[in-house]
């Protein structure tokens, strides 16, 4: 199978300082992502223009549609929600008080629970967590002793969850149960210079992983075998998602955060045409 059908195409200007968390949803008209350290949501319109929506928080870490409309966004130390796709969100939950920690990534399981994880501003090891938030707002700690909580997505049948702690050297997989994540084990290991960041799972259960610092996205089979690697023209590749009219556009966000050497395309979104489509994004039930 030819897994990749095109070279990366730049689809936005370099509009973000630290682009992250792309999500395709018809509920807000297509592709949305975050300019994380600006605290803004960015929505790509049909003409290629980008609308910017401030959240009122210093950080906008991720965004997911809600089952009944609107969206939930990860803010600096918690969550905010909106009932409308383009309205400013209202604060909902504070997940921690420690000012040295900030939200970094999140995603949903098949039952509508939200998993949201953080990291230390100074990147201290093993001081962060991944939290599980039910639709009713009950919060538990799903994973402890995390350094940089990153990509989260589940298998097509909802039974498995894939997760990146970027410093851990690879992607891990869990069993998804009624009470959270169980039986953590290694799914795929990366090279020492590769930093696994955001990830997304396609409709066949293959896993796309963004590899920060080395400017790549990699596709793994459900068994963890490497199927394809695509090089992008910027080093700080942050996250990826599948979408578009047929679900076969792989959108990749990038960053210019603390770049020593300027890269003109850093902060843009790229698109790669792929063989296997994605599936509709999991929504938050709250």
* Ramachandran assignment for 48, one of left (phi > 0), alpha (psi -120 to 50 degrees), beta (any other): left
Distance (Å, whole) CA 250 – CA 217: 10
The confidence score (pLDDT) of residue 258 equals 86
3-state secondary structure of 46: coil
Q: Nearest Cα to 207, choosing from 176, 231, 177, 242?
A: 242
The per-residue pLDDT for 12 is: 96
Q: What is residue 208's DSSP assignment?
A: E
- Are the beta carbons of 184 and 145 closer than 8 angstroms? no
Nearest-angstrom CA–CA distance, 246 and 213 = 30
> pLDDT tens across 76-127, in order?
999 999 999 999 999 999 999 999 999 999 999 999 999 999 999 999 999 9
Cα 213–chain centre separation: 16
Examine the pLDDT at 48 and tell me if it is beyond 90.
no
Q: Determine the Cα–Cα distance for residues 55 and 40; give it in Å rounded to an integer.
A: 6
pLDDT tens-digit profile of 226-243? Answer: 999 999 999 999 999 999
pLDDT, tens digit, 9 for 90 and up, residues 145-155: 999 999 999 99
Residue 250: other Cβ atoms inside 10 A: 29
pLDDT at residue 47, as a whole number: 82
What does residue 24 show for φ and ψ, rounded to 5 degrees? -100, 125
Average pLDDT over residues 5-12: 95
pLDDT for residue 260? 82
Closest CA to 241 of 91, 30, 76: 30
pLDDT at 187: 98
Q: Report whether 236 contacts 265 (CB < 8 A).
A: no
Please spell the DSSP secondary structure of 144-198, one letter per residue. Answer: EEESBEEEEEE-TTSSEEEEEEGGGSEEEEEEEETTEEEEEEEEEE--TT-EEEE
Residue 106 host element (H or E)? strand 101-108
pLDDT (0 to 100) of residue 156: 98
What pLDDT was estimated at residue 262?
A: 77
* H helical segments located in the chain: none
Is pLDDT at 20 greater than 80 in this prediction? yes
Residue 112 confidence (pLDDT)? 98
Closest CA to 162 of 173, 170, 148: 173
**DSSP-derived 3-state class of residue 205:** coil
Task: Answer yes or no: are the C-beta atoms of 39 and 54 closer than 8 Å.
Answer: yes
Which pLDDT band, with edges at 50, 70 and 90, does 261 fall under?
confident
pTM: 0.97
Distance CA 241, CA 211 (A): 14
Alpha-carbon torsion (250, 185, 286, 42), positive or negative: negative
pLDDT (tens digit, 9 = 90+) per residue, 239-259?
Answer: 999 999 999 999 999 999 988
State yes or no: pLDDT of 1 exceeds 90: no
Tokens of 195: 């930093």
Name the strand (E) or helix (H) holding 238.
Answer: strand 237-243
| Cβ atoms within 10 Å, residue 156 | 16
Task: Dump pLDDT digits (tens) for 164-222.
Answer: 999 999 999 999 999 999 999 999 999 999 999 999 999 999 999 999 999 999 999 99
């Amino acid at each position: 199978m030819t897994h990749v059908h095109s070279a990366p195409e730049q689809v936005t200007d370099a509009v973000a300082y630290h682009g992250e968390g792309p999500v395709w949803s018809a509920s807000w008209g297509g592709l949305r992502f975050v300019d994380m350290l600006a605290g803004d949501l960015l929505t790509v319109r049909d003409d290629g223009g980008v609308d910017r929506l401030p959240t009122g928080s210093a950080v906008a870490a991720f965004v997911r549609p809600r089952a009944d409309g609107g969206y939930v966004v990860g803010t600096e130390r918690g969550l905010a929600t909106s009932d409308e796709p383009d309205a400013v969100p209202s604060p909902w939950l504070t997940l921690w008080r420690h000012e040295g920690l900030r939200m970094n990534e999140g995603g949903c399981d098949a039952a509508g629970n939200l998993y949201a994880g953080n990291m230390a501003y100074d990147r201290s090891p093993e001081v962060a967590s991944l939290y599980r938030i039910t639709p009713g707002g009950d919060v538990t700690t799903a994973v402890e002793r995390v350094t940089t909580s990153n990509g989260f997505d589940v298998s097509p049948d909802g039974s498995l969850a894939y997760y990146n702690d970027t410093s851990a050297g690879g992607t891990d997989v869990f069993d998804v149960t009624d009470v959270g994540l169980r039986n953590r084990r290694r799914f795929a290991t990366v090279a020492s210079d590769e930093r696994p960041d955001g990830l997304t799972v396609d409709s066949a259960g293959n896993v796309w992983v963004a590899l920060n610092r080395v400017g790549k996205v990699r596709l793994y089979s459900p068994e963890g075998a490497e199927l394809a690697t695509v090089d992008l023209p910027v080093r700080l590749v942050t996250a990826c998602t599948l979408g578009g009219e047929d679900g076969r556009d792989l959108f990749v966000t990038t960053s210019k955060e603390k770049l020593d050497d300027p890269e003109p395309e850093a902060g843009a979104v790229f698109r790669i045409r792929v063989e296997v489509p994605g599936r509709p994004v999991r929504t938050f039930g709250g």
